[in-house]
Amino acid sequence: MESMDEQMNQCPVCESTRFIKRKKFKELELGDCSECGLGYATPLVEGEQAVSHAKSTITSSEYYTNIKQEFEAQSKLAAVKAEKMLTYYRAINPAREISSILEIGCGTGAYCSAFESLGVSWRGLEVNPEMVEFANRHDVPVEAINIMEESIEGHYDIVFLSQVLEHVIDPVSFLQRIKSSMSAHSILHLDVPNHDALISVIRKYNPFSRDYGFLQPYHHLVAYNKAALQGLLLKAGFEMLEIDAYANDHPVMGQLLTKTRVAHTVLMRASDVLKRGSLLVAVVKIS
């Protein structure tokens, strides 16, 4: 039988209890799983208690405020990016005609009109009521659905989640719930912060930073490198189509960045050269 300490230290991906402590922040120990390489905090209870209905960690109110302020600008960027995303999906999975997309953790729903204008039916789910209310007020039909508690009706050609998985403290169950919305030729496209990115490495060795890589209490209590993310996806029953690191401003795989500081741009270009982009992207199908 596992001791209480072993249960608290258990890796959310591979369930190993071989946790290597790297830093301490208040009551949290930040470190890595020596088996799969996942970065995580222990105990994983602070965020769960705060938003236990979502089985996720805390997202700051400041983050949501910024997202709302950038809605119009992000929607314009999405109009350009969505077409490039569809071209990529059709190239990597030519057997499937793309007519529907499900976005989980869609925030304000900036991609909605972009995909709809291209003839693709878009559905967006979000657990934060503030984001849902904002989106609905702007005529974006975002639904307040937590997939860990409610089943997803229908099947979709593409399931897309950006900067979501790193907030989930039970990722295997979460991904298995997502599989219920997919059919044999569906694609799951997700991205997370890259725990092996250049900026992450800098943080790991910065003695003055409270963060350890992309473990950023209490916002991010789970951080993936390539090995950990691939191991998780295989464990959840997916087949890899692509997994790689990208810059945040990549025209297909990147985020909807409305403002970028000069220093950030320089860091992204350096990350490109070193192949240590801050965005870890995986594209998979059901195995």
pTM comes to 0.91
Sketch out the chain's domains with CATH numbers. Answer: 4-286 (3.40.50.150)
Write the CA distances from 166 to 54, 71, 190, 224, 277, integer angstroms.
13, 22, 11, 7, 16
Q: Residue 44: its pLDDT value, please? A: 81
- CA dist 38 and 43 (Å) reads 15
- CA dist 31 and 37 (Å) reads 10
Q: Cα–chain-centroid distance for residue 192? A: 4
Low-confidence ranges of the chain (pLDDT < 70): 1-7, 45-64
- Classify residue 39 as left (phi > 0), alpha (psi -120 to 50) or beta: beta
Cβ neighbours around 248 below 10 Å, total: 23
Q: Which helix (H) or strand (E) holds 63?
A: helix 61-69
Interhelix angle 71-92/61-69, rounded to 10 degrees, is 90
State pLDDT tens for residues 185-209: 999 999 999 999 999 999 999 999 9
Nearest to 62 by CA among 216, 227, 231, 275: 216
Write the CA distances from 248 to 71, 154, 211, 265, 271, integer angstroms.
18, 31, 20, 9, 10
Answer whether 101's CB lies under 8 Å from 93's CB. no
Q: Cα–chain-centroid distance for residue 104? A: 10
Cβ neighbours around 21 below 10 Å, total: 12
For residue 187, which phi and psi values (nearest 5 degrees)? -120, 140
State pLDDT tens for residues 265-284: 999 999 999 999 999 999 99
Nearest to 277 by CA among 243, 230, 232: 243
Q: Residue 13: its pLDDT value, please? A: 97
Per DSSP bridges, beta strands 182-193 and 156-162 are parallel
Nearest to 98 by CA among 193, 219, 185, 212: 185
